[in-house]
Amino acid sequence: MRKVVTYPNDVLTTPTQAVTHITQDTIELLDDMYDIMLEEDGIGLAANQLGESVKIAIVELDDESGLIEMINPVILEEFGKEIDVEGCLSFPDVYGTVERAETIKFWYVNREGVSTFDEASGYLARAIQHEIEHLNGGLFTDKIIERLTPEELEAYMEDKEYD
Ligand code: CO
């Protein structure tokens, strides 16, 4: 059974390898990632967070966005800037504000091997940028503008009506 790798670990700071063939292992990894993301109450997960150094990430912000499974994702264009709070399953109890593009155009291959162009804004765009950053060996903690205490986080979430 795979589990979430927490910082510090080299697999989190090493750029992942592109997927050249979608195999049964790829599908099993995607399914595992989804189960673990739900179990851990996350909204996104990158394969290297499970110790697998391959370019695969998933995001499921809410029912409206649905599950986005991305193989070899790339951000093509960025528009605007926005600062909001992020956390990460690899950094339990670390929360802070990070600046990201407000809207992105991005590309990926889905589990059927279909090349997909898409656009996202707001917190969905943020989650996708956070996960693609993981695949490139980056960490949101290097971008934190202001770290939040648990009390500040709670107040912030109530304000934003996130849960
Ligand atoms: Co993360």
Res 50 pLDDT > 70: yes
Half-sphere exposure of 34 (CA within 13 A, CB side): 12
Predicted local distance difference test score (pLDDT) of residue 148: 95
Q: What spacing in Å lies between the alpha carbon of 70 and ligand 1's midpoint?
A: 15
CA dist., res. 72 & res. 20, Å (int)? 9
Instruction: Give the DSSP letter of residue 51.
Output: T
Residue 161: predicted pLDDT? 65
Overall pTM surpassing 0.85 (yes/no): yes
Query: Would you say 12 and 134 are in contact if contact means Cβ atoms under 8 Å apart?
Result: yes
Distance 82 CA to ligand 1 centre (A): 18
Categorize the per-residue pLDDT at 162 as very low, low, confident or very high, splitting at 50, 70 and 90: low
Q: How many CA atoms lie within 13 A of 111 on its CB side?
A: 15
CA of residue 129 to ligand 1 center, whole Å: 10
Distance 131 CA to ligand 1 centre (A): 6
Residue count (the chain): 163
Judged against a pLDDT cut of 80, whether residue 97 lies above it is answered with yes
* pLDDT at residue 77 greater than cutoff 70: yes
Arithmetic mean of pLDDT, 8-30? 98
Q: Which residues are catalytic?
A: 131
- Residues 128 and 46: their CA atoms lie apart, in Å, by 10
